[in-house]
Amino acid sequence: MSNASHQMDMCHGPLFRKIVLFTLPLLATNILQLVFNAADMVVLGQFASHQAMGAVGATVSINSLFVSLFLGLGIGSNVLVARFYGAGDTVRLHKSVHTSIAASLLCGLILMIVGLLSVRPLLTLMRTPADILEKSCLYLYICFAAIPFMVIYNVGCGVLRALGDTVRPMIFLLAAGVVNVVLNVILVAGFGMEMAGVAIATAVSHILSAGMILFVMFRSKEDSRLEWRCLKLDGPIFREMLCLGIPASVQSSCYSLANMVIQSSVNSFGSFAVAGCTAASGLEGFVWICSFSFHTTAISFTAQNYGGKHFKRILRSLFLCIFCAVAASAFAGGLFFLFARELLALYNSDPEVIQWGLVRVKILFSTYFLCGIMDVISGLLRGLGHSVIATVGSLSGAFFFRIAWVAFVFPHYHTMKCLFLSYPISWILVIVIHGIFSFVILRKLFRERTQKHGLLYASLHGKPPRA
């Protein structure tokens, strides 16, 4: 990695070392995000009423939906910027960086307007209790006003990570997160603003993180430097960015829907089961990021090497990312598995709640390495530009399978164990589907390269190479 530019050339040099150096800050960033999100609820729990906590909790699914809508734009930016950087195509690299930020401004404003107009109808449609409806509306109004800054930060991080820089996005998140926590305490504990204080603190942190991203991009000395006069949409690049990003957004949204169906089935076991699974899912987030971080790594390494035509490095990076994802997921899952009872007690000490939580922990934490394999292969497909294939495979093996499992299998074996077995089985299905697609696509790439080398040899020597 260049000390001057913070960028990383993923097309040359020791792969394993670079994968580790790239992923560790990314992993730390994801962990910090979970910690800061938890801090919001801790502050509310300690210094606000239960209605304030309920008001924020009622908005989680809506927030997740809107995050899913712009998540794909960051992935599309990441793939194109990494591809052009790996190919050494400075002209299209310059256009893709400016198109990414211009698109984030445009999409952010559109999402803000749509979000502000749909807050009350969505909350009413979800039958939000009357005593917290106004509080929930106020919370989302404030948060959605900052959506443009959320999108800029997400897309800006995608650009920096495509260039090999995962350190500065981590630093920016750390700084913004600390400000968020401090403002939470001041506004909620000091001024009694409850969920409005949490929303303002969150909005300020988004503005700060977006500002830092833009600052370093405008001050960069590289070909990826932002310039105001060049900040516009390039039609072909924007269309390709959407083709890569929209399938990822659709997949994320459908996953949220499938998990809502699973959650509705969990609800059938009663409040203790819901509490236990909620506690287990809180722990699960820390295990999941161990696999998902390598998903992002696989996208960047694949896209850069695809742009540079280093197909063997794509294969090597795939296997190394799978190895690292499996090792990290197995280690984290095993560690949480061993201390599950004690960790669940931090959320709720009731023995029955813990017992229900252990059912989820035992099934998922012991098999989460499968999710790591699935995420990495999905990242490979997205890095190669086959985002639609990655989405179709994921939806077929996970979304539709889980819905079918709940509809046809779960009613005959109405146990929590049966319900959560749908997760590892669905991961295996997606691995098989994505594995087949990846094999076909990579074989085609290697075959085309071999044919081109043969034609080049023939043109230079007047005869085909010896077998």
Do 66 and 108 sit in the same domain of this protein? yes
Q: Average pLDDT, stretch 205-229?
A: 90
Tell which of 206, 233, 260 closes a domain.
233
pLDDT at 456 over 60: no
With respect to residue 134, please indicate whether it lies within any of the assigned structural domains: yes
Angle between helices 60-87 and 271-307 (to 10 degrees): 20
Q: Determine how many CB atoms are found less than 10 A away from the CB of residue 316.
A: 16
Q: Residue 166's pLDDT is what? A: 87
With respect to residue 239, please indicate whether it lies within any of the assigned structural domains: no
Query: 467: pLDDT confidence band, cut at 50, 70 and 90?
Result: very low
Query: 145: pLDDT confidence band, cut at 50, 70 and 90?
Result: very high
With respect to residue 242, please indicate whether it lies within any of the assigned structural domains: no
Do 222 and 260 sit in the same domain of this protein? no
pLDDT at 72 over 60: yes
With respect to residue 272, please indicate whether it lies within any of the assigned structural domains: yes
Q: Express each pLDDT in 404-455 by its tens digit.
A: 998 899 998 889 899 999 999 999 999 999 999 999 999 998 887 776 655 5
Residue with tokens 């722990």: 283
Average pLDDT, rounded, for the chain: 85
Q: Residue 455's pLDDT is what? A: 54
Do 160 and 288 sit in the same domain of this protein? no
Do 130 and 274 sit in the same domain of this protein? no
Do 222 and 160 sit in the same domain of this protein? yes
Tell which of 233, 260, 289 closes a domain.
233
User: Pick from 1, 3, 36, 34: which is nearest to 20 by CA?
Assistant: 1
Tell which of 233, 268, 299 closes a domain.
233
Entry field: residues in the chain? 467
pLDDT at 2 over 70: no
Contact, 161 vs 296, CB < 8 A? yes
User: Pick from 286, 28, 297, 56: which is nearest to 177 by CA?
Assistant: 28
Q: Average pLDDT, stretch 379-406?
A: 89
User: Pick from 414, 373, 369, 374: which is nearest to 398 by CA?
Assistant: 374
Q: Express each pLDDT in 239-252 by its tens digit.
A: 999 888 888 888 87
Do 295 and 390 sit in the same domain of this protein? yes
Do 164 and 294 sit in the same domain of this protein? no
Do 223 and 302 sit in the same domain of this protein? no
Query: 370: pLDDT confidence band, cut at 50, 70 and 90?
Result: very high
Do 283 and 181 sit in the same domain of this protein? no
Do 199 and 281 sit in the same domain of this protein? no
Q: How many domains does the chain have?
A: 2
Q: Residue 47's pLDDT is what? A: 78
With respect to residue 30, please indicate whether it lies within any of the assigned structural domains: yes
CA of 118: how far to CAs of 63, 113, 121, 137, 150, in Å? 12, 9, 5, 10, 18
With respect to residue 238, please indicate whether it lies within any of the assigned structural domains: no
| For the chain, percent of residues with pLDDT exceeding 70 | 91
Do 218 and 256 sit in the same domain of this protein? no
Q: Average pLDDT, stretch 52-75?
A: 76
With respect to residue 240, please indicate whether it lies within any of the assigned structural domains: no
Q: Residue 208's pLDDT is what? A: 95
Do 92 and 142 sit in the same domain of this protein? yes
Query: 463: pLDDT confidence band, cut at 50, 70 and 90?
Result: low
With respect to residue 438, please indicate whether it lies within any of the assigned structural domains: yes
Q: Residue 35's pLDDT is what? A: 80
pLDDT at 460 over 90: no
The parent domain of residue 136 ranges over 1-233
Q: Residue 128's pLDDT is what? A: 75
